[in-house]
Amino acid sequence: MKCRFGKGLGDSLGKTLAGWGVAGLVLALPLLAQAGPAPIPPGAVLAVMHNVEVPDQDEEAELQDGVTATFWYGQELDVDGKHYYATFVWHTRDSAARQGEDFAAPEVQVRLADATFELTHPGQTPAYSIRSIERKIGFFGGREKPEEVDSKRQAVEHRTADGRLLLAVPTATFDNGVVTKGYTMLLFNPNKKPEDDGWVWSYLGQVRTGEDNSAACDEGAVMPCIGSDGELSFVAGQGPLPQVQVKVSGTTFQGPGKIRSLAAADNLTYVYDSKSQQYTSQELASRQP
pLDDT digits (tens, 9 = 90+) for 252-274: 998 888 899 999 999 999 999 98
Residue 160 belongs to a domain: no
Asked if residue 2 has pLDDT above 90, the reply is no
Residue 34 has pLDDT above 80, yes or no: no
Q: What is the structure's pLDDT at 3? A: 38
Q: How many CB atoms lie within 10 A of CB 107?
A: 8
Closest CA to 199 of 262, 250, 137, 156: 137
In a domain, 175, yes or no: no
**pLDDT for the residue 32:** 35
Is 117 contained in some domain?
A: yes
DSSP 82-150: EEEEEEEEEE---HHHHTT-SS--TT--EEEEEEEEEE-STTSSS-EEEEEEEEEEEEE-BTTBPPPB-
Structural domain range at position 17: 1-143
Whether residue 262 is contained in a domain is answered as no
Would residue 169 count as lying in a domain?
no
| 3: in domain | yes
User: Is 95 a domain residue?
Assistant: yes
Percent of the chain with pLDDT over 70: 84
| Residue 127 pLDDT exceeds 90 | no
Residue 82 domain-assigned (yes or no): yes
Number of domains in the chain: 1
Kindly report, residue by residue over 167-219, the tens digit of the pLDDT. Answer: 999 999 998 899 999 999 999 999 888 777 789 999 999 999 999 999 999 88
Cα dist. 216→46, 146, 225 in Å?
Answer: 36, 22, 8
The reported pTM is: 0.83
